[in-house]
Amino acid sequence: MILGRWIAAWLLVAVGIALAVGTLPARAATSDPAASEWVHLDYSAVRLVAATTALGDGDRVPLGLHIRLADGWKTYWRSPGDAGLPADADWSASENLAAAEFAWPAPRRYTLLGLETLGYEGEVVLPVTARPARPDAPMSVRATVHYLICEDICIPQTAELSLTVPPGPAAPSAFAHLIGRYQNRVPGSGDDVGLTIDSIAFGREREGAALVVRAGSTGAPFGEPDVFIESPDQPIFAKPRVRLTDDGHGAVFTIPAGEAGAVAPSLAGAAVTVTLVDGERAMEGRFTVAEAEVGGLATGTTLPLSWIAVLGLAVVGGLILNLMPCVLPVLSIKLLSVVGHGGGPARPVRLGFLAAAAGIVFSFLVLAGALAALKAGGAVIGWGIQFQQPWFLITMTLVVSLFAGNLWGVFAVRLPGAIADAGARLGHGQGLGGHFLTGALATLLATPCSAPFLGTAVGFALAQGTFEIFAVLTAVGIGLALPYLAVAAFPRLATSLPRPGRWMIILRRVLGFALAGTAVWLLSVLAAQVGVVAAAVVGLVAAAAVLAVGGATRMGRPWGRRGAAAAAIGLAAVAFLVPARFASDAAAAADAAWQPLDEAAIAAHVAAGQVVYVNVTADWCITCKVNETLVLNSRDVRAWLAQDEVVAMRGDWTRPNDDIARFLARFGRYGIPFDAVFGPALPDGAALPELLTVEAVRGGLDRARADTVAAGPGDNGPAAQEPAPGDPIAGADAVTGFRR
């Protein structure tokens, strides 16, 4: 029994010895002279590794600080964010080590309870460039490493690490691939990964100060890009608002740089480090922050204006829209709205003009809903894009023709139900429904126009979300409705006019021809899209519709001059459209000096020292035609655009064109007219005012040339001119000079 116990004990000892002996070779086999031993700490482990087996020529030796973290724990980047500490090392105990420098792979962003931190989780290797003092002696690296790890709590870690790299020919070690993998994640210039940082500008918005960074991707489109700003005086770690452009190949980051209501110090002129990260791709660079004026930055880089400023611009732009050429064709409706109340009581005036204002605002709400739905569906949106749709032009031609027939007395509009009864009780034949439709029609015909201040406000809205679109377009509608609201507030403006009489009948017939002219204009726009024959057919159908409605309402009563006047709509359309082929040929000859808009070619022309003038127009944009007639076709401007160093490009937005829409969006514009100049002094371009002048064109061309010198105090040259409202020359792109 005792013998059996001794035998069993000896067997256990033998097995233990055998296991110990068996593990020693394996342990020795895994030991590598190119790595230090792991130092295991709470929830992490750390070691030093070398990418080469020897010093080689001794110029530099790639090392790595290898950190492994338990699940859920993280450590920090060189700029940790709102909390945390980066890794650090004391190399003073080393021998034959002249210098050692960390490199930092691109981090990830972590958000917790409103705090933004930047760092790594799981595993990371921080590349270290070591420089031996002598290449013919061993380099003994001894480091006291400090780093912080955090989960729900944070634990400072300290480890003593040592690694010796002998002299001799260098060969890749077993850790060369590991170090190289993380070295490739260290942000560079961006050329090798197809990333660019185009501009950075500082401005102020209603939530506080902000930086706007514009970036591009020449390879694959952006996935989930992020940007980190490092400033020695004012660190900024806030999470940016990101808007992708150009089918994902462009990105605009708006980064809060101060608290709402606080006066944050300006970063304009400061040198900052910008790190752009998109998945495995990253780049960084040192940039000088530009100063950005509110209006220029809002249109050029989509930094939001304060809400008071945006809504104020929207109201003023809508008010000015009443004076724009697009709205002049419906002057007859507006004029009749006033003179029809001459000598009448004040109450119907107030209600009628309030109904017209309601029609305007309601139409803008419908337009806002349509634009928001299109944007949510991924469509390219813009101001006045409904005029690119033939069905809209056909519908509007029929509606305007029927309005003209009504003014000529061919028929009277009978509104059913309570609306007609209310109108009758008010003693006014048109009724509230008619006034409401008058406002709606004025809105629909006004939308091809862009007025001063309107482009800035609408550009802001269309670049934001659904709420902003509804808010800004409602404000534009209120601005357009202000004249109606003014008459409603002061009805004597209408009631003090003479009572309607025979003169009123004559005026209605004369003004009916103004609406007939509007129908002809709509048909001319339609002809550019579907052809002359199809547009002529639509014109004849519109005339037939007027006659048919008139016949149905009058039950065979003699037509006389009224029927002839209605038929004149169709005849005028045919008379206008038959020679349209010759007119289009003449227009083509006039356009021979213009090249088609080619955004990719602009940079090449600018690099060659040329100035590029870009004009975006459409057949349905009356303001564009006014600009062309009064300015672009003037003798002086034609001569300037014909110079050898000037290239004139024209984009035709009569039909939907996503490339033109994206080009406009880069300037924060979503409507036309749009004119811009590019050149050696303005490589990113500068927009001109919506209403052109010869002086504005000349000033833009002068500013874009390479030999332009910024005007100092007291100078009166073109460079000293103040930018027009909505002109992004004061914004980030024009100031920084960074190229796309």
Pick from 339, 215, 347: nearest CA to 287: 215
In this model, does residue 372 exceed pLDDT 60?
yes
- Which residues make Cβ contacts (< 8 Å) with residue 151, sequence separation at least 6? 43, 72, 73, 74
Q: What is the mean pLDDT of residues 216-221?
A: 88
Q: What is the mean pLDDT of residues 291-319?
A: 59
In this model, does residue 379 exceed pLDDT 60?
no
In this model, does residue 68 exceed pLDDT 70?
yes
Predicted local distance difference test score (pLDDT) of residue 375: 64
Residues of the chain with CATH 3.40.30.10: 586-736
In this model, does residue 523 exceed pLDDT 60?
yes
Class of domain 586-736: alpha beta
Q: What is the mean pLDDT of residues 34-49?
A: 94
Read off the pLDDT of residues 676-733 as tens digits, 9 standing for 90 and up.
999 988 888 888 887 888 988 998 998 888 654 333 333 333 333 333 333 333 333 3
In this model, does residue 37 exceed pLDDT 50?
yes
Predicted local distance difference test score (pLDDT) of residue 104: 96
Window from 6-20, 159-173, 285-299 with minimum mean pLDDT: 6-20
In this prediction, what percent of the chain has a pLDDT beyond 90? 24
Predicted local distance difference test score (pLDDT) of residue 12: 42
- Give me the CATH topology for the region 195-291: Immunoglobulin-like (2.60.40)
Q: Is 263 within 8 Å of 244 (Cβ atoms)?
A: no
Predicted local distance difference test score (pLDDT) of residue 161: 96
Collapse the DSSP code of 205 into the 3-class scheme (helix H, G, I; strand E, B; otherwise coil) and give the result.
strand
Q: How far is CA 667 from each of CA 294, 355, 498, rounded to the nearest angstrom? A: 14, 37, 50
pTM: 0.42
Contacts 24+ apart (CB under 8 A), 552-561: 552/411, 553/411, 553/412, 553/414, 554/411, 559/410
Q: Is 630 within 8 Å of 333 (Cβ atoms)?
A: no
Q: What is the mean pLDDT of residues 283-305?
A: 59
Q: What is the mean pLDDT of residues 478-482?
A: 86
Read off the pLDDT of residues 574-609 as tens digits, 9 standing for 90 and up.
444 444 443 444 344 445 679 999 888 898 899 888
Predicted local distance difference test score (pLDDT) of residue 10: 40
pLDDT band at 82 (very low <50, low <70, confident <90, very high): confident
Structure tokens at 89: 């090392």
Predicted local distance difference test score (pLDDT) of residue 336: 61
Amino acid identity of residue 321, one-letter, is L
**Residue 506 burial class via C-beta count within 10 angstroms: exposed 0-12, middle 13-18, buried 19 and up:** exposed
Q: How far is CA 339 from each of CA 5, 343, 488, 495, 501, rounded to the nearest angstrom? A: 125, 9, 14, 8, 11
In this model, does residue 36 exceed pLDDT 90?
yes
Pick from 434, 475, 482: nearest CA to 457: 475
In this model, does residue 428 exceed pLDDT 60?
no
pLDDT band at 11 (very low <50, low <70, confident <90, very high): very low
Residues of the chain with CATH 2.60.40.1250: 39-183
Domain 39-183: CATH superfamily is Thiol:disulfide interchange protein DsbD, N-terminal domain (2.60.40.1250)
pLDDT band at 101 (very low <50, low <70, confident <90, very high): very high
Q: How far is CA 95 from each of CA 52, 61, 259, rounded to the nearest angstrom? A: 18, 14, 49
Read off the pLDDT of residues 124-147 as tens digits, 9 standing for 90 and up.
999 999 999 998 999 999 999 999
pLDDT band at 205 (very low <50, low <70, confident <90, very high): low
> Residue 401 and residue 549: Cα distance in Å, rounded?
11
Predicted local distance difference test score (pLDDT) of residue 685: 85
Predicted local distance difference test score (pLDDT) of residue 175: 94
Q: What is the DSSP string of 67-113?
A: EEE-TT-EEEEEEEESS--B-EEE-TT-BSEEEEEE-----EEEEET
The per-residue pLDDT of the chain, averaged, comes to: 74
Predicted local distance difference test score (pLDDT) of residue 460: 60
In terms of pLDDT, which residue wins out, 573 or 56? 56
Read off the pLDDT of residues 639-679 as tens digits, 9 standing for 90 and up.
999 898 999 999 988 777 878 887 887 776 767 788 999 99
In terms of pLDDT, which residue wins out, 15 or 440? 440
pLDDT band at 118 (very low <50, low <70, confident <90, very high): very high
Window from 2-6, 351-355, 729-733 with minimum mean pLDDT: 729-733
Read off the pLDDT of residues 612-633 as tens digits, 9 standing for 90 and up.
999 998 876 767 877 888 889 8
Window from 160-174, 241-255, 358-372, 423-437 with minimum mean pLDDT: 423-437
